[in-house]
Structure 1
Amino acid sequence: MNNIIENITFNNEKPSVFLLKKSDKIKYIAIALGRDAVLKKHTAPVPTTLLVLKGEINFMIGEEKTQLRQFDIFEIPVNVEHEVTGVSNENLFTLTQEL
């Protein structure tokens, strides 16, 4: 058994990433961000679902900002550049990727 909180840190400077599960069909990861920490611009090459477990994040696509709060679910567009920033002191979300 693993515990997400025991395997991540809420750092204000960089994301903390913990791999929950990987198979030939899915990749499931947890990402923690402190306040103002940024998951820098990148793209998702496969369908990806984001679920906020704690805190609040800003999800940026181009100039469009979507604020996501605890328990919000967001479908990340495939191959579209995006960036995530932590709003609260402790922000935790999961990503489920369909491989």
Structure 2
Amino acid sequence: MNILKNMAFHNDRPSVCAIKRTDKINYFAIGLIHDQFLKKHTVKDPSLLTVLQGEIEFLINGGTIILKEFDTYEIPVRVEHEVKGLKTRNIFTIIQEK
């Protein structure tokens, strides 16, 4: 599977591309255009974010973390956060352990 070819960017909402789902993991990609947000939410399972293309702002605990291509970040469980796309097209993957 080619994530970029399967990613359909939308002006009105983040794009999501399922990669793999098993009883142990959920692996998916999210695409954001410039200044688009993935709304505030929490994760219930340990999750690892990896930026594949572009640059994102990860807003958490009143602070901002800038993540660039190939950066990874372990998302804390049950901590509210949101994500903003900074470049024209931004793609990151999430692997969630169940």
SS at match of 2:5: helix
Q: Name the residue aligned to 1:3.
A: 2
Equivalence map 1:85-96=2 (5 Å)? 85-96=84-95
- What's the counterpart of residue 52 of structure 1? 51
Matched with 1:97 is 96
Deviates more, 1:6-15 or 1:82-91: 6-15
* Match in the other structure for 1:63: 62
Q: Structure 1: give runs of 5+ residues left out of the alignment.
A: none
State whether structure 2 residue 79 is matched by structure 1 residue 80.
yes
Secondary structure (helix, strand or coil) at the match of 1:13 reads coil
Structure 1 consecutive aligned stretches of length 4 or more whose deviation exceeds 3 Å: 10-13
Q: 2: CA distance between counterparts of 1:68 and 1:13? A: 23
Q: What stretches of structure 2 of length at least 5 have no aligned partner?
A: none
Question: Quick check: 1:58–1:86 contact (8 Å CA) kept in 2?
Answer: yes
TM (normalized to structure 2)?
0.95
Structure 1 vs Structure 2 CA RMSD:
1.0
SS at match of 2:8: coil
Aligned residues: 98
| Structure 1 equivalent of residue 19 of structure 2 | 20
Structure 1 letter corresponding to 2:88: N
Q: Secondary structure at the match of 2:66?
A: strand
Separation in 1, partners of 2:48, 2:10? 23
